[in-house]
Amino acid sequence: MLIIRPICASDYEALYGIAVESGHGFTSLPVNEDLLRSKIARAEASFTKDVKKPFDEGYLMVLEDTTTKEVVGTCGIEAAVGMEDAFYHYRLGTEVYHSKQIAVRNEVETLTLCHDYTGAAELCTLFLKDAYRKGNNGRMLSRSRFLFLAQHQHRFGETVIAEMRGVSDEKGDSPFYEWLQKHFLGIDFVEADYLSGLGKKAFMAEMMPRSPVYVCMLPKKAQNVIGEVHSNTKPALRLLQAEGFKFRNYVDIFDGGPTVECSLTDIKSVKRSRLLTVEIGKMPRTDTSFIISNTKLADYRATAAKLSISDEHDNVVLSPELAQGLMVENGQQIRVLSL
């Protein structure tokens, strides 16, 4: 059985392996022992914290194969970004230049550094090992976060965002970043991305262009990747778009990848998830698959299984094995979402 659960200190080696395997551009998991251990400790504290209003909590979870006891993936949600460290984006805008005298009108795209998403929740740190990228495993891992958001809405910002990985080559070099490196930062993309992942962001405020950047003045290869996603990220983007996430003209400051957003209460899976009461027994045969989670916090568990669910009834039968995996007992509630 594949079970999603909160990360714990004993998962450090597995998380380090995922950080190495994820490669360039996966900013939320730099290959750095101190940072990874700090992320785990922060997540452990967040899952047990009494929260009245979201602040700087981070909910990092892992996907465990209970047969092999191996951690094979991870996913996370940030409660409210930018509350302690600045959270930068470029906002794509338009400036209009018009002269009646010479009968010329031009619209010019601009990039303006901003902190507009401060306080938003963020879907992040989604990674699944190659051997498990089959069936509905990736979809289950990603969408399970919507069950957690639905159950614990007061812990998250009203807007939910996801930063999509931008275009870069096999070496990790970004066409969008090249001009920034040449004229402003002076360090390569991999180093800048790594420092950002470590939370060492002072150099951004010190070295990034303070005035709007005219897109037409960038090299063509930089212009062409603004708002575009890495080829490996296209399936994740399609999944989020199906949930109602939209691109609102905000892009990453390093690789130009798009950030998509949706109101938490408008996410389709949040709206469509249901609470059902558990009956432990022999499960009826069915071909309908669901993502299932308990309603707990520190003991949060989620998985996927085939369930027989009726629109007319608010109960569902779980096998003893499935109930044990989800840490639920007879009469307790679970939240379900069709796969």
Active site residues: 230
Cα–Cα distance for residue pair 260/120, rounded to 1 Å: 12
Q: How many helices (H) and strands (E) does the chain have?
A: 10, 15
- Considering only CA atoms, which of 294, 318, 305, 328 is closest in space to residue 147? 294
Beta carbons of 173 and 234 less than 8 angstroms apart: no
Sign of CA dihedral 209, 212, 215, 216: negative
Please report, for residues 218, 226, 227, the alpha-carbon distance to residue 174 in angstroms, rounded to integers and kept in the order given. 14, 11, 13
Q: H/E element holding 51?
A: none
Q: Report phi then psi at 237, rounded to 5.
A: -65, -45
- Listed in order, strand segments (DSSP E) in 28-174 are 58-65, 70-78, 89-99, 104-114, 121-128, 159-163
Please report, for residues 26, 30, 101, the alpha-carbon distance to residue 197 in angstroms, rounded to integers and kept in the order given. 8, 6, 51
Cα–Cα distance for residue pair 300/101, rounded to 1 Å: 67
The conformation of residue 307, written as its DSSP 8-state character, comes to -
- Considering only CA atoms, which of 4, 34, 41 is closest in space to residue 19? 34
